[in-house]
Structure 1
Amino acid sequence: MKKLGFMTLLLLSGAALAATPKDTLVIQESADIPTLDPGVTYDTASGQFTENIYETLWTYKGSSLRAFDPLLATAVPTFTNGGKTLTVVLRKGVKFHSGNSFTCADAEYSFRRNLVTNSAESGNWFLSDSLLGTQSNAKDDTSITFAKITAAVKCNAAGALVFTLPKADPAFLAKLAFTGQSVVDMKWAIQQGEWNGTEATWKDWVGKDETGGGLDKKPSGTGAYQLVNRDANSILLKAYAGYWGTKPAITNIIWQKVPEQATRYQSFLRGDADVIETGPRANVQEQLVGKPGVTFIDNLPNTVATAFFMNEKISDASLLGSGKLDGKGIPANFFSDVNVRRAFAYSFDYAGYIKDVQQGKGKQRTMLLPDTFPGYSAKVKTYTYNPAQATAYFKRAFSGNVWKNGFVLNSNYRAGAVASQTAMEILKKNVEALNPKFKLNINAKQWSQMLTDSKNGKEAMIVLGWAPDYADADNFLYTFYSSQGYYYPRNNWKDASVDKWLDAARVTVDPAARNKLYAQVAQRAYEQTPYMLLPAGINFTIVRDNLKGVSAASYNPMRSDATTGVLWKTLSKN
Structure 2
Amino acid sequence: MEAADIPTLDPGAVFDGVSSRLVQNTYETLVAYPAGSLTDYEPLLAESWTVSDDGKQYRFKLRPEVKFHSGNPFSCADVEYTFERNLVTNLPSSGAWYISEPLLGTRDNAEADPSITWERIDKAVECEGNELVLNLARPEPYLLARLTYPGQAIVDKQYAASLGEWDGTEATWKDWVGKDLSESALNGKYSGTGPYRIVNSENDTLTFASFADYWGGEPAIKNVVRRKVPEQASRIEALLKGDTDIAEVGSREVIETQLANQPGIQVVDDLPNLVSYALAMNQDTSKSQNTGSGTWGDGVPANFFADRDMRLCFTKAFDYDTYIEQIFLGKAERRNTLMPPQLAGYDQNLANPSLNLDEATEHCKAAHGGEAWEKGFTLNVAYREGTPQIQAAVEILKNNIEAMNPKFKVNPVEKQWSELISAANIEPMAYASWGSGYADPDNYFRPFYHSQGYHGLKSHMNDKQLDQWIDEARLVTGTNPEQAAALYGQVAKRAADEGYYIVLPIGVGIQAYRDNLQGVGANDYNVISGLFWKRLSKGGTQ
Normalised by the length of structure 2, the TM-score is 0.86
Deviation at 1:552, TM superposition (A): 1.2
Given that 2:93 and 2:423 are in contact with CA atoms closer than 8 Å, whether structure 1 keeps it comes out as: no
Query: Residue in 1 aligned with 2:155?
Result: 184
Deviation at 1:254, TM superposition (A): 3.3
Q: 1:438 to 1:172 in 2, by over 3 A?
A: farther
Distance 1:455 1:39 in 2: 21
Letter matched to residue 357 of structure 1? I
Q: Which of residues 114, 117, 129 in structure 2 aligns to 1:142?
A: 114
Deviation at 1:208, TM superposition (A): 3.3
Distance 1:333 1:421 in 2: 25
Q: 1:431 to 1:133 in 2, by over 3 A?
A: same
Distance 2:391 2:188 in 1: 38
For the residue of structure 2 that corresponds to 1:89, the secondary structure is strand
1:55 paired to 2:28: yes
Distance 1:438 1:350 in 2: 24
Deviation at 1:179, TM superposition (A): 0.9
Q: 1:110 to 1:433 in 2, by over 3 A?
A: closer
Distance 2:482 2:143 in 1: 18
Deviation at 1:269, TM superposition (A): 2.6
Query: Residue in 1 aligned with 2:123?
Result: 151
Letter matched to residue 413 of structure 2? A
Deviation at 1:178, TM superposition (A): 0.7
Letter matched to residue 569 of structure 1? K
Query: Residue in 2 aligned with 1:488?
Result: 456
Q: 1:410 to 1:126 in 2, by over 3 A?
A: farther
Deviation at 1:358, TM superposition (A): 2.9
Deviation at 1:218, TM superposition (A): 4.0
Query: Residue in 2 aligned with 1:195?
Result: 166
Deviations 1:512-555 (A, max 9, x none): 33223212211222233222212122221111111111111221
Query: Residue in 2 aligned with 1:409?
Result: 377
1:349 paired to 2:322: no
Q: Which of residues 352, 360, 363 in structure 1 aligns to 2:333?
A: 363
- Bigger shift: residues 330-339 or 234-243: 330-339
Deviation at 1:368, TM superposition (A): 0.6
Distance 1:330 1:241 in 2: 56
Q: 1:322 to 1:277 in 2, by over 3 A?
A: closer
Query: Residue in 1 aligned with 2:489?
Result: 519
Distance 1:185 1:229 in 2: 19
Letter matched to residue 441 of structure 2? A
Q: 1:163 to 1:428 in 2, by over 3 A?
A: same
Query: Residue in 2 aligned with 1:254?
Result: 225
Q: 1:445 to 1:96 in 2, by over 3 A?
A: closer
Q: 1:319 to 1:276 in 2, by over 3 A?
A: closer
Letter matched to residue 479 of structure 1? P
Distance 2:191 2:273 in 1: 32
Letter matched to residue 327 of structure 2? V
Given that 2:394 and 2:412 are in contact with CA atoms closer than 8 Å, whether structure 1 keeps it comes out as: no
Q: Which of residues 82, 94, 111 in structure 2 aligns to 1:110?
A: 82
Query: Residue in 2 aligned with 1:12?
Result: none
Letter matched to residue 410 of structure 1? T
Given that 1:171 and 1:474 are in contact with CA atoms closer than 8 Å, whether structure 2 keeps it comes out as: no
Deviation at 1:216, TM superposition (A): 3.9
Given that 1:320 and 1:331 are in contact with CA atoms closer than 8 Å, whether structure 2 keeps it comes out as: no
Deviations 1:54-79 (A, max 9, x none): 21010012122232111111235445
Q: 1:276 to 1:402 in 2, by over 3 A?
A: same
Given that 1:55 and 1:72 are in contact with CA atoms closer than 8 Å, whether structure 2 keeps it comes out as: yes
Letter matched to residue 464 of structure 1? A
1:372 paired to 2:342: yes
Query: Residue in 1 aligned with 2:468?
Result: 500
Distance 1:121 1:335 in 2: 23
Deviations 1:284-331 (A, max 9, x none): 33332211111111222223222233344453799597968xx99977
Q: 1:340 to 1:251 in 2, by over 3 A?
A: closer
Deviation at 1:160, TM superposition (A): 2.2
Q: 1:74 to 1:141 in 2, by over 3 A?
A: same
Q: 1:321 to 1:100 in 2, by over 3 A?
A: closer
Distance 1:481 1:464 in 2: 12
Query: Residue in 2 aligned with 1:439?
Result: 408
Distance 2:213 2:420 in 1: 46
Query: Residue in 2 aligned with 1:13?
Result: none
Structure 1: runs of 5 or more not aligned:
1-27, 560-564
Q: Which of residues 62, 81, 99 in structure 2 aligns to 1:90?
A: 62
Distance 2:102 2:420 in 1: 30
Deviation at 1:396, TM superposition (A): 6.2
1:472 paired to 2:440: yes
Distance 1:183 1:39 in 2: 9
Map 1:282-431 to 2 at 5 A. 282-315=253-286, 319=291, 333=303, 335-391=305-361, 393=363, 401-402=369-370, 406-414=374-382, 416=385, 418-431=388-401
Given that 1:94 and 1:101 are in contact with CA atoms closer than 8 Å, whether structure 2 keeps it comes out as: yes
Query: Residue in 1 aligned with 2:144?
Result: 173
Distance 2:247 2:503 in 1: 29
Number of residues of Structure 1 aligned to a counterpart in Structure 2? 533
Letter matched to residue 482 of structure 1? H
- Bigger shift: residues 436-445 or 65-74: 436-445
Distance 2:241 2:406 in 1: 55
For the residue of structure 1 that corresponds to 2:328, the secondary structure is coil
Distance 2:517 2:276 in 1: 30
Distance 1:193 1:316 in 2: 34
Given that 1:301 and 1:372 are in contact with CA atoms closer than 8 Å, whether structure 2 keeps it comes out as: no
Distance 2:424 2:164 in 1: 36
Query: Residue in 2 aligned with 1:3?
Result: none
Distance 1:376 1:76 in 2: 31
Distance 1:570 1:328 in 2: 53
Distance 2:300 2:191 in 1: 55
Given that 2:364 and 2:373 are in contact with CA atoms closer than 8 Å, whether structure 1 keeps it comes out as: no
1:568 paired to 2:533: yes
Distance 2:14 2:224 in 1: 20
Structure 2: runs of 5 or more not aligned:
none
Letter matched to residue 411 of structure 2? I
1:163 paired to 2:128: no
For the residue of structure 2 that corresponds to 1:226, the secondary structure is strand
Query: Residue in 1 aligned with 2:72?
Result: 100
Given that 1:38 and 1:182 are in contact with CA atoms closer than 8 Å, whether structure 2 keeps it comes out as: yes
Letter matched to residue 268 of structure 2? I
Letter matched to residue 512 of structure 2? I
Given that 2:31 and 2:41 are in contact with CA atoms closer than 8 Å, whether structure 1 keeps it comes out as: yes
For the residue of structure 1 that corresponds to 2:134, the secondary structure is strand
Letter matched to residue 221 of structure 1? G
Query: Residue in 1 aligned with 2:528?
Result: 558
Deviations 1:390-444 (A, max 9, x none): 355556667xx5399645133212265544444344334434555x576344353
